[in-house]
Structure 1
Amino acid sequence: MTTTFAELHHDDELLLLPNAWDHASARALAAEGFAAIGTTSLGVAAAAGLPDGASDTRDETLRLALTLGSGPYLLSVDAEDGYSDDPDEVAEFAQQLVAVGAVGINLEDRLGPPALHAAKIAAVKAAAPGLFVNARTDTYWLGGGASETRDRLDAYQRAGADGLFVPGLTEPREIAALVKDVDRPLNILYTPGGPTLAHLADLGVRRVSLGSLLYRRALGAALETAGEIRAARVPGGAAPSYGEVDALSRRSDATHSDGP
């Protein structure tokens, strides 16, 4: 029986990691049977009125991890670039995540110096050996070819990364080739219209993240619903009841089924 986050990356079944942005979304996903849940940096930043990917959400990310870390699931936290160029400060943040119950961390290189990102990974693994470090390279988002991707991932796995993440990579042949070139579980970002989960599993991918997709879809549904009501039409689609959402807070007084 799988008991650790790392083992989920080596299980017979592909690990599909949905990404939550608050307590209710994490609890709802757990109720749907997801054993592991990640956070989305875009959702955290948007909720706080801050830009994503600018290293401005350290406190908000830690606050969310504190909220989610005791949940009935394994928690992996998107920590952007670690919120610092100092590997020791990144390692300190990783220790704080472990202290509140996180079992994984996602660290992105933003196409900065690979040696610096490798140093962050090594510092985190030294300070928090049990924390699953998913090392992300942005070569397919910010520029850079297959050769640079392999070089960066090689440096990151030699630094101690437990998993490797290449968002933006969708071409099946390139995915299959990369799986053969690395010695760690490969993480791909799900893309609507891209390879299916079954296809990705056949290619050797071990983890598929949903990133900000669920948050963006939820926001899209909210806008669509508001537009339908304004146009005097009854909105379609499913929505949890007030009581169901309120119950996700685990409040003892959540006994009513209707409300504002």
Structure 2
Amino acid sequence: MREFKKLHEQEDPLLIANVWDVPSAKTAEKLNFQALGTSSAAIAAMLGYEDGEEMRFSELEYIVQRIAANTALPLSVDLESGYSREPKEIADHIRRLANLGVVGINIEDSLVDEDRSLMDANAFASILSEVKDELTKSGQNVFLNVRSDTFLLGLAHAVEETQKRIRLYEKAGADGIFIPCVENENDIEAIVKSTTLPINVMCMPGLPDFERLKALGVRRISMGNFLFGALQKNYEGMLDQVITQNTFKSVFEYSKN
């Protein structure tokens, strides 16, 4: 985990390649990415589930095992909300992933029932603190990237609520903070300045370019499931060409590129 943590301290932000299977992981490694992170939404879609812990932890664990066995890159895993509400069970899930070679996890402060909603900040911080204590007792050193869904859920005072939650999560043992869906430069700067922890932002249409994010103090940039979604659209287009052209020529033309 020490080397993975150092990647959050380098001059340029750490660009994480979000992957969902062995081929996507191997492609990222071929292109010299420094680290990988799984996308829970992409893995869920690949297995026929909606995002939000519909798949079983054992299914996630198997996919992670196959990815970890086929790459030498540091691997972080999106654990959603922990696949349990019990800190000891969450810590056990993290230990099982660490035993596969995983160096970090994402854990989020929202839950999906019929809709996604934020957990109480103090209650989530308490869970996080207990998870951290359990990991420390067993000697597991895993990078805890704590995701807050204040912007994802469109809160009216998202910056202030994010800053409040960051203070709680920092005290509870977070190693990094992930704020998906934040795009505005002023919001990003205010969040970065509110903590010494590395801030992670995610691929969004209005997100500033990487040089600007570096100037704003962002330490980690991830992709979510957006590349997976784009690939699925490209696949749909290729299949449509096969149907409309009554030939496979387009498939082989594409593979030449």
Asked if Structure 1 and Structure 2 have the same fold, meaning a TM-score greater than 0.5 normalized by the shorter chain, the answer is: yes
* Separation (CA, whole Å) in 2 of partners of 1:120 and 1:55: 21
1:143 aligns with 2:180: no
Equivalent pairs counted in the alignment come to 240
Specify the alignment match of 1:122 in structure 2: 129
Aligned to 1:167: 180
**Is 2:96 the partner of 1:100?**
no
Q: Residues of 2 paired with 1:238 and 1:174: CA distance?
A: 41
Distance (whole Å) between structure 2 residues aligned to residue 200 and residue 131 of structure 1: 26
The residue that corresponds to 2:171 in the other structure is 158
Identity %: 33
Shift of 1:231: 2.1
Residue of structure 1 equivalent to 2:213: 200
Matched letter for residue 35 of structure 1? Q
Structure 2 CA distance, aligned partners of 1:55 and 1:84?
12
Of 213, 218, 222, the residue aligned with 1:209 is: 222
1:72 and 2:55 are equivalent in the alignment: no
Compared CA separation, residues 143 and 193, structure 1 to 2 (3 A): closer
Distance in 2 (CA, whole Å) between partners of 1:240 and 1:157 is 49
1:12 Cα deviation after fit: 1.2
Change in CA separation of 1:11 and 1:99 when aligned onto 2, cut-off 3 Å? same
Residue 181 of structure 1 is aligned with which of 187, 194, 219?
A: 194
Higher alpha-carbon deviation: 64-73 or 54-63? 54-63
Give the alignment partner of residue 236 of structure 2, picking from 211, 223, 227. 223
Aligned pairs for 1:7-46 within 5 A: 7-46=6-45
CA distance in 2, matches of 1:57, 1:142: 24
Q: Aligned partner of 2:201: which letter? A: I
* Cα distance in 2 for residues equivalent to 1:17 and 1:112: 26
The alpha-carbon deviation at position 116 of structure 1 amounts to 2.9
Moved more, 3-12 or 94-103: 3-12
Distance in structure 2 (CA, Å) of the matches to 1:238 and 1:151? 49
Of 193-202 and 97-106, deviating more is: 193-202
Return the offset for 1:14: 1.2
CA distance in 2, matches of 1:34, 1:240: 24
Residue 187 of structure 1, CA deviation:
0.2
Q: Is the 8 A contact 1:76 1:103 kept in 2?
A: yes
Cα deviation for residue 120 of structure 1 reads 3.1
Distance in 1 separating the partners of 2:8 and 2:48: 34
Give me the whole-angstrom Cα distance separating, in 2, the residues matched to 1:15 and 1:107.
Answer: 18
1:55 offset after TM fit, Å?
A: 4.8
Which of 131, 135, 143 pairs up with 1:132? 143
Deviation at 1:205, TM superposition (A): 0.3
CA drift of 1:98 comes to 0.4
1:21-49 deviation line (CA, Å, top 9, x unaligned)? 10111111111101200001111111221
- In structure 2, the gaps of 5 or more residues are 111-117
Given the two structures, how large is their TM-score scaled by the length of structure 1? 0.86
Cα distance in structure 2, aligned partners of 1:36 and 1:147? 31
1:149 CA displacement: 0.9
TM-score by length of 2: 0.87
